[in-house]
Amino acid sequence: MRTLLSLPLSILLLVANFINHASAIVIDVNNKDSITHAAWVFAHGLMTYYNGNQTGQTPGKFVSPYYWWEAGAAWGSLIDYWFYTGDDTYNEQVKSSLLFQVGTDNNYMPANESTSEGNDDQAFWGFTVMAAAERNFSNPDTNQPQWLALAQAVFNTMASRWDMSTCNGGLRWQIFQFNNGYDYKNTISNAGLFMMAARLARYTDNSSYVDWAETTWNWTESVGFLDTESYYFYDGAHTEVNCAKWNITKYQWTYNAGIFMAGSAYLYNYTGSSLWAQRTQSILDSITIFFDSDTGIMYEVACEKSKTCDIDEKAFKAILARFMGLTAVLAPFTYNTIYEHLVQTVPGIAQSCVGGLDDVTCGTTWLEVGWDNTWGLGQQMSALEVVQNLLVQDVPAPYTAATGGSSPGITNVTGGGNVKVLTTGDRAGAGILTSIALLMMLGSSWWIAL
């Protein structure tokens, strides 16, 4: 018995697949209780991947193979889960997780993550603390960093990395020179800065942030990562060739479009400008490429049908769905189209989320009939976000400091922020941590083999 209980989840799921007894979860999009129930099931499934609250584990992180960014994203999904459904089961764990991972400079750059943390990774934690402020999520004690201040610190450190040395501006993918990808400028990192600027502008009613959002948009467009003929967003390009257009990696990811669309909607909502309305609408028109032309079901066009999506990419649909919901609220002229996309996706989710030992584990693709024998944090998060965003009209729009948000920010922000420059000593330290982690992994597989 002991052996069976200790088997990793993956093996148990495989066994379950052989037994294969599927019971569908019914999702009636016209019934709030039904939607809330489905969200409850998916949120519970998501949290089965979390053990950071157990002795010896690290609060706020999901276990390997999930990168740190995805934890930041998952806590954001759960803040919205609470806001949309009223179920506060996970709120304490979300709060303690967000506070545990702030890092010594209170800006989501914890030393443990320095071997892999890019601008995009930091941004995902920034989105989540921004949401905590906008949802009036329970404020930390006064001796702890506050949600809005954390969001501003993420913005300040990111903005301070704006880099004119190549490509005529933009953020690099990586923060640290010693990490692979420092020589790449990508859309997701700049999307992160754009969104933080847009949301901070609206929340704090400070138009300096609008300038930053414009600068980021203008650069993304001028470098060709945004094609304004089609409103497609491409992945990025290399600094060695100054982000030459021929060098652009032309993958399109759901999350880039989602983040730029919602950022535009925030700016429209804050400024009332017809330019931001037009941009929001143009991106909304362009995202039809992420919905199957026969069924209307959402999918990751660059990798899903070929079954080549990696662990990160399996979570991207969650990000698109979340930001479709916010767009629908902040730019109300988009609501009908967005609601229709979400509603058409739901039957795909209902037929996919019938796997695993619990019969409600979600697969990666929602285009196939039945579960596709995959499982994971990204799959659960994506299903959760689509379903809970059907409820956007049942709850207040994101608050601002003037309409109900209560989170204090950094006063006297002067830009620049508190940038920690890693020394070689820190780098060696990070290397040692990685080695310890590797040894522990080897240790545990040895134990399983035994």
Structural tokens at position 31? 């019934």
Which residue is closest to ligand NAG by CB?
Answer: 404
440 binds ligand NAG (CB under 6 A): no
Measured distance CA(9)–CA(12) in Å, rounded: 5
Which DSSP string corresponds to 61-77? -PPTTS-HHHHHHHHHH
Residue 58 or 344: which CB sits closer to ligand NAG? Answer: 58
Measured distance CA(311)–CA(104) in Å, rounded: 28
Residues 195-214 binding ligand NAG (CB under 6 A) are: 206, 208-209, 211, 214
Which DSSP string corresponds to 261-285? HHHHHHHHHHH--HHHHHHHHHHHH
**Rounded to the nearest whole angstrom, what is the least distance from the CB of residue 131 to ligand NAG in the complex?**
14
AA identity, residue 11: I
CA angle 266, 268, 271 (to 5 degrees): 105
Residue 21 or 272: which CB sits closer to ligand NAG? Answer: 272
Measured distance CA(234)–CA(191) in Å, rounded: 11
Q: How many CA atoms lie within 13 A of 111 on its CB side?
A: 15
Q: Which residues, including other chains, have CB under 8 Å from residue 293's CB and lie 6 or more apart?
A: none
Residue 148 or 188: which CB sits closer to ligand NAG? Answer: 148
Residues 102-161 binding ligand NAG (CB under 6 A) are: 110, 112, 136
Measured distance CA(13)–CA(30) in Å, rounded: 32
SS3 of 172, please? Answer: strand
**Of these, 129, 326, 329, 349, which contacts ligand NAG (CB under 6 A)?**
329
Q: What is the x/- site pattern for ligand NAG, positions 400-429, by CB under 6 A?
A: ----x-x----xxxxx--------------
Which DSSP string corresponds to 219-262? HHHHTTSEETTTTEE--EEETTTTT-GGG-B----HHHHHHHHH
Structural tokens at position 131? 């949401």
Q: What is the largest CA-CA distance in the chain?
A: 66
269 binds ligand NAG (CB under 6 A): yes
**Rounded to the nearest whole angstrom, what is the least distance from the CB of residue 323 to ligand NAG in the complex?**
15
**Rounded to the nearest whole angstrom, what is the least distance from the CB of residue 400 to ligand NAG in the complex?**
10
Residue 254 or 269: which CB sits closer to ligand NAG? Answer: 269
Q: Please, are residues 442 and 2 in contact by the beta-carbon 8 Å criterion?
A: no
Inter-helix orientation angle 377-388/335-352, to 10°: 140
**Rounded to the nearest whole angstrom, what is the least distance from the CB of residue 113 to ligand NAG in the complex?**
8
Looking at 173-181, 226-234, 289-297, 324-332, which segment touches ligand NAG (CB under 6 A)?
A: 324-332
**Of these, 77, 85, 146, 215, which contacts ligand NAG (CB under 6 A)?**
215
295 binds ligand NAG (CB under 6 A): no
**Rounded to the nearest whole angstrom, what is the least distance from the CB of residue 345 to ligand NAG in the complex?**
22
Residue 277 or 367: which CB sits closer to ligand NAG? Answer: 277
**Of these, 34, 53, 91, 282, which contacts ligand NAG (CB under 6 A)?**
53
394 binds ligand NAG (CB under 6 A): no
SS3 of 440, please? Answer: helix
AA identity, residue 2: R
Measured distance CA(353)–CA(388) in Å, rounded: 15
Looking at 51-59, 164-172, 305-313, 383-391, which segment touches ligand NAG (CB under 6 A)?
A: 51-59
332 binds ligand NAG (CB under 6 A): yes
Residue 118 or 181: which CB sits closer to ligand NAG? Answer: 181
What is the CB neighbour count within 10 angstroms for residue 422?
17
**Of these, 25, 39, 43, 47, which contacts ligand NAG (CB under 6 A)?**
47
Residue 412 or 423: which CB sits closer to ligand NAG? Answer: 412
Structural tokens at position 232? 């497609």
238 binds ligand NAG (CB under 6 A): yes
- Give the total of residues touching ligand NAG (CB under 6 A): 36
Q: Which positions touch ligand NAG (CB under 6 A)? A: 47, 50, 53-54, 58, 93, 100-101, 110, 112, 136, 206, 208-209, 211, 214-215, 218, 238, 240-241, 247, 249, 269, 272, 329-330, 332, 397, 404, 406, 411-415
